[in-house]
Amino acid sequence: MPNLQDILSDAGAARDDVRRNAEAQLAQASAANFPEYCKALASELCNENCTIPGIRQRAGLVLKNAISSTDPKTDAALRDKWVNMMQGPDKEMIKRSVLELVLVQQTKAEEARRTACQVAAKIARLEVPLNTWPEFFSAILMTVNSPAPTTPESRIGAYCLLGYFTEDVQGLCEEWGRDLMSDENKGLVLSSLSRGMTDPNLDVKLAAFKGFYHGILFAERFVALDSDRHQLFVLIGEALNCDRIDVAKAAWEVLFQMADGYYLYLDEILNDIMKLTYERCQAPAVAQYEDIALSAIEFWSTICDEEILIGQENRPERLKNYVAKYKDHLLPILYEATTFRDDEETAEDSDWCVAVAAGACVGLCAQVLKDDILPSALSFIEANFGSPQWNRREAAVLIYGSILEGPSNDKFAPKLRASFPMLCQTLNDPSVVVRDTCAWAIGSIAKNHLNVIAPFLGPVNGEGGLVQLLLRKLDDQPRVAKNACFALYEIFARSESVKNISTYSISSNFRQLSAELIQVAKRPDGSENQLRQAAFNTLYMLISQADVCEDVDQLLRQFVTWMDQTTKLAYTEELGQLQGPMIGCITAIIDLSSDALLRAESKKLMDSFMDVLYQGTQISANNMIQRWSPATEEVLLATSMLCCQLGTGFDPYVEVIAPTLRSALVARDIDSQVTGVAVELLGGIATACPNKFKSYVSEFVELFIIVLKDRSAGMDLKPKIITVLCDIALVCPHEFFPHIKSFLEFLRLAATTRADQGPADDETWLQYIINLRDASLCGYSASICCIRDCAQNGWDQAQAVNGVQLFTPEINRILEFVTKVFNDKFSSPGNIRNAIRLLQDLIPMFKTNPVQALKNSVLYNILKTHGQLTTDAIIKQELARLEEVITKTNTPPPLLPSYTRHQCCFR
């Protein structure tokens, strides 16, 4: 590849045009001859004669990006490319040269060695599980176990490579749902890393511990053996006490992994860890080594997470009760650590520091200990609530707000009721940090115990109530005002539950409340601490919970004007982040506004929505980065709500929004969330504007079929698309029918997808299977209804016969699919109901064939048995209806389609 050094140099240029041109040349070379491209990059990475700074490192990074990606879909494609296109000598040359650079005694560019570690790891994750790179481990072992002296740099390279390798392989194991490492290879990795953890050179020791952070995930057999586990704990203990902070921190991080993966084996080390936690979390130690104190606290937070998860999964046999065992030692350390604040003027609410970490850990401890945390927590709160030191007052309030999710209402409610007035007074504390934390604590109380504090809410327009106090705090410093918004948000969100036990009312005070929040959004300092976004979010919740059309109509006009003003400003990231919450408020307003006002304002709304989209895409186009505006999802949701409310009144705007929806489907890799919302919006448009949508059916159905056939499309996308295709089939049957063959082909494929084809015990995958089955069952029903509607409305006899003949081969497939749904333990009640409804649609349409096939199948007995055993009233009802349909086959009643869908696709 000629002039590669020049191209790589330009690829790091500051000028956009120079950089883009170099990137284009690299992409062209990769497309023209991928093996030669990779070989050239590997040669440059290992070129000891290169004297241009950064070139070797950049060559390595480009090579790494040619065979891997952080995006799972792209990564899968690049893995296939390496396996399928890299063959023979070229592949061996790259593997050999990169590994030699990692393990070489000396190199002129150590940064090139580190990059080579990443490249070698990306290759090894594919080659080692296939046993096609036997030299990988033998070369590493020769370096770390050699009796002859080796340089620290080469040993660091070996352990760095093992760290990257184990991380990458672990990622593939999770993706594929199976173990890709043989026990022999696991043993080689762990023995090599363990040797490095004893290395006298601290840089080497650090590299080994960093490598072990991921390697420990393959050490189940190693950890299960008492002698090996004891040896490991000795190594970790020595490193925890190391004077080098980075080595000690790396050892703590290994402990995090052990707490997460090997919780059952921690007994013998916890006494020592508790002592170290005490030592590292004392004020002088924290001042000098804050990272270590944070690590110690994070370890106990990980223990809490594990015990919370065990409780949620109802697996008491796994519970070791570590938190309960050490609570008398741990909690006082954490309480005191919450007082370790910096100077009041520099203490920011967003800073992650020892005090904040300790408060978070206390919250997790509360979830584990439940009522048992109250005595010590309340004692600390009472002792420090009135302290003359601001940091101790703030710590008391922080603990108050942190324990709310733990204790039972019976135990905590009386204490909360008695102390809440004093907490409200703290909103006027002279310290901004205390006021900030107090507003957050009140918001947390409203979220978890609003019924308890309902008597304190008070009238909105009176004095002395909590709501009025929070409204006054909206004028405080941005950090305090933001948490005041949070508290009001939580109160509004649960207003229905306290309607009869509180004097405050949202609807009767809507005008005042909305005006106050709008003023907050207009504050000149609204960009600080995300205050403006918090104000809009709170306003959204207020509108969602209110029941006042007149004031909402006035608010819509105000927002339309306001939104129009923002689209005339020069676009910035900050503006994009602001527009999203604004449009969220508009969505809530549209839901409550009168039809007459919506029709009058709809053009202005759609113009503003489109302007927001164009602003975002302009920035992306100018920077040659293809991405959506930050507000795109909110725009589509608001458009969906407007479409739902206007019905056929949305007809004029179908052609306005159609190009955006088309782009969302074509550019689905950019943001799957945006694509998902676009798909749902298309379903809403088809349902609300069927006549207008008819001319778009062919285009969008073809796009949908392309996405359904795309193996890289997101799992949550395909069930949504099938559901929307069902909508289209029902409202535009004649326009849909030309595509029904392609639709049925995909339904056949979807019907054969099984839970055991994905990762084991993966809840996301299992939910996908459930959703896919629901959509596919409804898809078959919609196809039947499409053919029936066409036959009844517009087809001649020959067309009707052809339609029926097209579908007839599906009958046995449908019976097999329904049988599988009934027999599969992963099927949901919804799957069962939709399967029965599909049979209800199938039988009257095709009469004798499916009835005879059904009665002659195993499924018929399964249906009868299920009807006798199920306790689901809806399933019993559907089975009874199915039996009626079967008995009336000779003179089938006019049945409505079983498939139904909400008219509005906004959720």
Identify the weakest region by mean pLDDT among 158-162, 568-572, 598-602: 568-572
Per-residue pLDDT tens for 343-356?
Answer: 666 666 557 899 99
The residue from 354, 382, 407 where one domain ends is 407
Q: Is residue 403 part of a domain?
A: yes
Given this model, what pLDDT does residue 891 score? 45
SS3 annotation, 760-815:
CCCHHHHHHHHHHHHHHHHHHHHHHHHHHHHHHCCCCHHHHHHHHHHHCCHHHHHH
H-only helix segments in 385-431: 390-402, 409-425
Identify the weakest region by mean pLDDT among 7-21, 533-547, 617-631, 774-788: 617-631
Tokens of 417: 């009721």
Given this model, what pLDDT does residue 348 score? 64
Say yes or no to pLDDT of 186 above 90.
no
Per-residue pLDDT tens for 690-701?
Answer: 999 999 999 999
The residue from 361, 381, 407 where one domain ends is 407
The residue from 392, 407, 422 where one domain ends is 407
Say yes or no to pLDDT of 623 above 60.
no
Q: Is residue 423 part of a domain?
A: no
Given this model, what pLDDT does residue 624 score? 35
Read off the pLDDT band of 13 (50, 70, 90): confident
Mean pLDDT confidence for 598-603 = 92
Angle, alpha carbons 617-623-629 (nearest 5°): 25
638 vs 18, higher pLDDT: 638
Read off the pLDDT band of 617 (50, 70, 90): low
Q: Is residue 526 part of a domain?
A: no
Say yes or no to pLDDT of 902 above 50.
no
C-alpha torsion sign, points 240, 242, 245, 251 = negative
Q: At what angle do helices 829-846 and 763-792 cross, to 10 degrees?
A: 20
Mean pLDDT confidence for 849-855 = 69
Q: Is residue 301 part of a domain?
A: yes
Q: Is residue 108 part of a domain?
A: no
Q: What is the pTM of this model?
A: 0.79
Percent of the chain with pLDDT over 90: 52
CA 768 to chain centre: 15
Which amino acid belongs to residue 785? C
Given this model, what pLDDT does residue 622 score? 39
Mean pLDDT of the residues in the chain? 87
Tokens of 434: 């205390």
d(CA 307, CA 868): 40
Given this model, what pLDDT does residue 489 score? 95
Say yes or no to pLDDT of 304 above 50.
yes
Tokens of 165: 């390798």
Q: Can you tell me whether residue 182 is helix, strand or coil?
A: coil
Q: Is residue 502 part of a domain?
A: no
| The total number of structural domains that make up the chain | 2
Q: Is residue 144 part of a domain?
A: no
How far, in Å, are 51, 276, 799 from residue 245 at the CA level? 35, 14, 79
Q: Can you tell me whether residue 866 is helix, strand or coil?
A: helix
Task: Tell me if 362 sits within 8 A of 372, measured CB to CB.
Answer: no
d(CA 46, CA 101): 6
Please list, residue by residue across 383-413, b when 16 or more beta carbons sit within 10 angstroms of its beta carbon and e when fewer do.
ebbeeeebbbbbbbbbbbbbbbebbeeeebe
Identify the weakest region by mean pLDDT among 233-247, 489-503, 576-590: 489-503
Read off the pLDDT band of 549 (50, 70, 90): low
d(CA 717, CA 704): 10
CA 171 to chain centre: 17
Task: Tell me if 750 sits within 8 A of 772, measured CB to CB.
Answer: yes
How far, in Å, are 178, 286, 347, 434 from residue 389 at the CA level? 55, 19, 14, 11
d(CA 901, CA 885): 23
Per-residue pLDDT tens for 265-298?
Answer: 999 999 999 999 999 999 888 888 899 999 999 9
Angle, alpha carbons 80-85-89 (nearest 5°): 130
Mean pLDDT confidence for 322-336 = 97
Given this model, what pLDDT does residue 904 score? 32
d(CA 64, CA 77): 14
Per-residue pLDDT tens for 32-85?
Answer: 999 999 999 999 999 988 888 889 999 999 999 999 988 777 888 888 888 888
Per-residue pLDDT tens for 360-419?
Answer: 999 999 999 999 999 999 999 999 999 999 999 999 999 999 999 999 989 999 999 999
C-alpha torsion sign, points 17, 577, 531, 291 = negative
Q: At what angle do helices 829-846 and 848-855 cross, to 10 degrees?
A: 130
Say yes or no to pLDDT of 896 above 50.
no
Find the domain containing 296 and state its range: 266-407
Given this model, what pLDDT does residue 850 score? 64
In the numeric block, the tokens 């999203």 are attached to 580
Q: Is residue 375 part of a domain?
A: yes
Task: Tell me if 738 sits within 8 A of 694, measured CB to CB.
Answer: no
d(CA 784, CA 234): 68
Given this model, what pLDDT does residue 794 score? 83
Read off the pLDDT band of 867 (50, 70, 90): confident
Q: Can you tell me whether residue 196 is helix, strand or coil?
A: helix
770 vs 715, higher pLDDT: 770
d(CA 84, CA 78): 10
